[in-house]
């Protein structure tokens, strides 16, 4: 892949309120983009649109220059994502879940052992997922999303439930994937954490992308809330 994942004028609004309005967003190979906003800003909706989980009312999303609706299945095998909840069956063991996920994406069995080690799951490999803690289930979901070394990665609030060791493991994996040339999008409302890894921080407010923040700016949190306040005042 060379063009990454690109949204142009994507819109999807809901009758009960909320949604995403006319979003332009590009994730290029070799960069981590952080999508930040308050709860209810539309982060998950936008990620679902980027992955084809929701159909846009207008606009388009392209992966490697090809509209989502025309993508072959082989291209999707190079995408890794975790949106809402880990995509694993609770009755399976950790190892079996990762093995099935790897097979679906055409990856070899060797990736599973590496993923178990990378995410601190080796001692839980034989346990059923339903018996794991929330944090370890999140680790399994992240391992499943990243073990096949995807070229496009979309993660929605990936640090949810993780302890500090899990956060560090995720951080290391995202930086490694970026250095391998992957295009990465991570949503969060924790500015301090995304600033450690992001090359760009994009701000979403009330369904609209309203600007960007430099990750290493002094007073990043204050700048974020000032941007939201200005946008709220303009919309009012």
- Convert the pLDDT of each residue in 56-109 to its tens digit: 999 999 998 899 999 888 888 889 999 987 767 889 999 999 999 999 888 877
Tell me which residue range forms the domain holding 91. 86-149
How confident is the model at residue 92, as a pLDDT? 95
Within this chain, do residues 172 and 74 fall inside the same structural domain, yes or no?
yes
Q: 123 is written with which tokens?
A: 């001692």
Which residues make Cβ contacts (< 8 Å) with residue 80, sequence separation at least 6?
A: 145, 146, 148, 150, 152, 153, 154
Within this chain, do residues 145 and 161 fall inside the same structural domain, yes or no?
no
Within this chain, do residues 133 and 188 fall inside the same structural domain, yes or no?
no
Of 149, 170, 186, the last residue of a domain is 149
Within this chain, do residues 74 and 160 fall inside the same structural domain, yes or no?
yes
How confident is the model at residue 1, as a pLDDT? 43
Within this chain, do residues 62 and 160 fall inside the same structural domain, yes or no?
yes
pLDDT in tens, 125-168: 999 999 999 999 999 999 999 999 999 999 999 999 999 999 99
pLDDT band at 2 (very low <50, low <70, confident <90, very high): low
Q: 232 is written with which tokens?
A: 């709220």
Check: CB of residue 36 under 8 Å from CB of residue 224: yes
Share of the chain above pLDDT 70, in %: 99
Which residues make Cβ contacts (< 8 Å) with residue 20, sequence separation at least 6?
A: 10, 11, 12, 13, 42, 45, 46, 49, 207, 208
| Closest CA relative to residue 231, chosen from 210, 213, 214 | 210
* pLDDT higher than 80, residue 3: no
pTM check: above 0.75: yes
Check: CB of residue 112 under 8 Å from CB of residue 98: yes
Within this chain, do residues 143 and 157 fall inside the same structural domain, yes or no?
no
Domain count, the chain: 2
pLDDT band at 55 (very low <50, low <70, confident <90, very high): very high
Element (H, E) at 213: strand 208-213
Within this chain, do residues 72 and 157 fall inside the same structural domain, yes or no?
yes
């Amino acid at each position: 892949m060379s063009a990454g994942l690109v949204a142009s004028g994507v819109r999807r609004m809901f009758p009960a309120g909320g949604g995403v309005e006319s979003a332009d967003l590009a994730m290029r190979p070799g960069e981590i983009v952080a999508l930040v906003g308050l709860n209810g800003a539309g982060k998950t909706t936008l990620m679902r649109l980027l992955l084809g989980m929701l159909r846009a009312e207008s606009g388009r999303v392209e992966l490697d220059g090809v509209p989502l609706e025309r993508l072959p299945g082989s291209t999707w095998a190079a995408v890794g994502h975790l949106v809402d909840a880990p995509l694993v069956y609770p009755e399976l063991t950790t190892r079996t879940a990762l093995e099935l996920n790897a097979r679906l994406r055409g990856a070899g069995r060797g990736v599973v052992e590496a993923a178990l080690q990378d995410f601190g799951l080796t001692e839980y490999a034989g346990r059923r997922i339903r018996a794991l803690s929330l944090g370890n289930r999140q680790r399994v979901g992240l391992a499943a999303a990243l073990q096949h070394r995807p070229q496009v990665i979309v993660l929605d609030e990936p640090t949810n439930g993780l302890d500090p060791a899990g956060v560090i493991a995720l951080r290391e994996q995202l930086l490694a994937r970026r250095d391998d040339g992957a295009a990465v999008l991570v949503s969060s409302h924790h500015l301090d954490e995304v600033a450690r890894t992001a090359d760009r921080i994009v701000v979403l407010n009330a369904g609209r992308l309203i600007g960007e923040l430099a990750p290493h700016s002094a007073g990043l949190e204050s700048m974020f809330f000032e941007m939201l306040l200005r946008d709220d005042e303009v919309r009012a």
